[in-house]
Amino acid sequence: MTTPPDALVAAPHDALYIAGEWRPAATGDTIPVVDPATEEVIAHVPAGTAADVDAAVRAARAALPGWAATPPEDRAARIAAIRDGLTARADEIAATVTAELGAPPKIAAAVHAALPARVAASYADLAATYPFVEKVGNSTVYAEPVGVVGAITPWNYPLHQIVAKAAPALAAGCAIVLKPAEDTPLTAQLFAEVVHDAGLPPGVFNLVTGLGPVAGQALAEHDGVDLVSFTGSTAVGRRIGAVAGAAVKRVALELGGKSASVILPGADLARAVNVGVANVMSNSGQTCSAWTRMLVHTDQYDEAVALAATAAAKYGERIGPVVSAAQRDRVRGYIERGVAEGARLVAGGPDAPRERGYYVRPTVFADVTPDMTIAQEEIFGPVLSILRYEDESDAEAIANGTEYGLAGAVWAGSDEEAAAFARRLHTGQVDINGGAFNPLAPFGGYKRSGVGRELGTHGLTEYLQTKSLQF
């Protein structure tokens, strides 16, 4: 007998993970977890409140001195054990992400389960090799943990977003309280199990599931939190930044994007368009760094639009749902807005492709102008806007003409030409002629896309503060 795939979905805990054990929340309130492909409630998890956050922060504070004093090689060994746990449970992780996010099994395995293990591996290495002590003239400079981290994460890459904060925080010697997205708490509970099995001292990692404006806000405001690390919308990030600023608390903000893929005339047009469409449709468009604007020279515009329409049509059956009914309604609203503002639909549209599930049709708009809402606001759905440019300086102005600056792509006849143009973009990452994602490269935004960097050495230093001793 074969095991049905949903038997792999992590069994929900009706408790919070605090001080090394699963504990009941202060109230009996719960949050339903919905499978976006079926619209069925598949689990309930506790809705933690300020009292639970307080208990978790106290546990983290109590654990902090011991973990901070643990030699980096020993911290590295525990992170390596987390990496091994993530690798061993990859099938469960993938099934759980499919169940609560709706990611198709292939991307769930290849991205949602595999990437966090790579990121954990990178921090097992960095914890062991990073120079936490340096000589500068007559000074000895120590990189010390910033303290207790309040981590608030979104649902779009549920495990990656958690590991991109927890792994560097642990490597730095910080203790953590995590408030994951309400839509994807099962993946977070699975991660807590992995941390537990990795033998971390009680209280070093704590999980409080709950609602953003309740548990999330309590965590951001808590006096016992030294650094708030947030990934999510710019609207919430702005508020968290204000709260942290008022308390003179460190803050890292990983926010939205409206990234441009700029196709210069010498590029391989078909490849640039096909990879560009795939980039937007992947994860049903729910990627903060997605290249949701494609910029094409006026001479190649019609050809690019035709290629994009054909490419998008192929995603009709393959694409997963978006995460929730609210997100589906939001995305459809943007598609209707695009039509109303005069953009031309060449693939997809606002109508529902299936009777059940929060599906949105893979959508491509042509004749999009920079002032349109769909060219300015983050949609977070499978929607591509194709804009026309006249020359390079026009392309540069359009690419830089949003409040965001997270990522982007440049395609040209040579890497040198593409890289020269990329240096003119006001954005934290640019992929040159389809360059691959690098989990060691700093990831983060210019402008309203955020403050700080995640991943690799830059991600580690977010969780450190420095002390100089003069001799």
Amino acid (1-letter code) at residue 32: P
Cβ-based nearer residue to ligand NAP, 287 or 461: 287
CA distance linking residue 116 with residue 86, whole number of Å? 8
**Between 231 and 429, CB nearer to ligand NAP:** 231
Strand order of the sheet with strand 464-470?
A: 133-136, 139-145, 464-470
State the CB neighbour count (10 A cutoff) for residue 169: 30
Judged by beta carbon, residue 145 or residue 150, the one nearer ligand NAP is 150
Among residues 250, 213, 249, 214, the alpha carbon closest in space to that of 233 is found at 213
Q: How far is the CB of 375 from ligand NAP (least distance, A)?
A: 15
Smallest gap from Cβ 390 to ligand NAP, in A, equals 30
89/258 with CB nearer ligand NAP: 258
Burial of 24 (0-12, 13-18, 19+ CB in 10 A): exposed
CB of 31 to ligand NAP, least distance (A): 8
Say whether 100 is catalytic: no
Distance from the first to the final alpha carbon of the chain: 70
- Cβ nearer to ligand NAP, comparing 100 with 396: 100
Q: Among 92, 182, 221, 254, which one carries the catalytic annotation?
A: 254
Q: Which among 100, 288, 396, 454 is annotated as catalytic? A: 288
**Alpha-carbon gap, residue 145 to 192, rounded angstroms:** 21
Q: Measured from the CB atom, is 142 or 446 closer to ligand NAP?
A: 446
Query: Residue with CB nearest ligand NAP?
Result: 212
> Least separation, in Å, of the C-beta of 344 and ligand NAP?
24
Residue 83 or 222: the one with the smaller Cβ distance to ligand NAP is: 222
Nearest distance, CB of residue 331 and ligand NAP, angstroms: 8
Half-sphere exposure of 157 (CA within 13 A, CB side): 24
Residues that bind ligand NAP (CB under 6 A): 152-156, 179, 181-183, 211-213, 216-217, 220, 231-233, 236, 239-240, 254-256, 288, 378, 380
Q: Is 288 known to be catalytic?
A: yes
Residues catalogued as catalytic: 254, 288
